[in-house]
Amino acid sequence: MFTARSKPGITVTARDAEKANKPFYCPNCESEVTLRRGYVRLEHFAHMAASSCEYAKETELHIQMKLQIFKNLSDTIGSQVKSIQLEKPLGIIRPDIYIEGKKKNIGIEVQASALTPEQIISRTKFYFSKGIYVLWVVPYDEKRFYKYNNITNRMVLSPFRVKEYERIICQMYFKTMILWDIERDPENGFMAFKISDCYTEGTEFYDRDYGELRSFAPRKQKTMKLVDSIQPYLELGDLQPKIINSFSMSMAGYDLPKRNLMIYNWLK
Ligand SMILES: [Zn+2]
């Protein structure tokens, strides 16, 4: 994480903090954290030992994404909004990036590790109760979406294994995932993937026991998805704030709550 508390009530960022000002405390779990600053790793605060704090589980990928998105937003919309803040505490949640706009507020959740459906849904409800528009961003990983094709000698889009939390995010955003690629220049911004269902191949075979030809129609695969189209360069300004009604997902065992989201409109 990039922020900690040095004295009661005083928040410091890792970039501006001095080792002399320690001790530093995690704003989430209140335990002592250390300032890390190196040539390779970004300056940040780290928990001491094994900790169950949400911030102790942050990966390097999460930290990189958070900082790159923050930089991109500061450059693109920084002058048009009231403030852009990292790890803003808002009651029970802390969006990775919080944008206080002139007309609306936006919370960005970088999702590089697994959240349960319950966690995603309860956060979505909380954002809605505060009137904050939320954008979930997942990491782009070329190896997940592209496979090498021996015939064309090229990397081609291929079915990918969808994670449980990604499936919920896809549903909430009308089959769209917003991604961030830490390998690119942050100036390139976000990416949007339009996701569609993946089907097994239908089969036909002669069943000896029944003495007849039987066939299986293609079936929808639960854990595999396809990328239909890609918008590779996206700014936050290309997304629109939308209020969306709740939707029952009886097959999945949960309902999507009423929500305020930043939506990408493919027809535009
Ligand atoms: Zn903590």
Q: Can you give the pLDDT of all 268 residues of the chain as single tens digits? A: 888 988 877 888 888 888 777 889 988 888 899 888 765 567 888 888 778 887 887 888 888 899 999 999 999 999 999 999 999 889 888 899 999 999 999 999 998 777 888 889 999 999 999 999 999 999 999 999 999 989 988 889 999 999 988 989 998 999 999 999 999 999 999 999 999 998 888 888 888 887 888 888 888 888 899 999 999 999 999 999 999 999 887 777 778 899 999 999 998 6
Measured distance between the N- and C-terminal CA atoms of the chain, rounded to whole angstroms? 36
CA of 12 to the centre of ligand 1 (A): 15
Cis status of the peptide bond prior to 95, with omega within 30 of 0: no
Contact 110, 180 (CB under 8 A): yes
* Chain segment 57-85, per-residue pLDDT in tens: 788 888 889 999 999 999 999 999 999 99
Q: How far apart are CA 159 and CA 213, in angstroms?
A: 30
Helix/strand/coil (H, E, C) string of 60-73?
HHHHHHHHHHHHHH
User: Which backbone phi and psi does 208 adopt, to 5 degrees?
Assistant: -65, -40
Q: Residues with Cβ within 5 Å of ion ligand 1?
A: 26, 28-29, 53, 55
Question: What is the distance in A from the centroid of ligand 1 to the CA of 143?
Answer: 32
CA of 1 to the centre of ligand 1 (A): 9
Looking up tokens 């507020």, which residue turns up? 105
Distance (Å) from CA 63 to ligand 1 centroid: 15
pLDDT computed for residue 134 by the predictor: 96
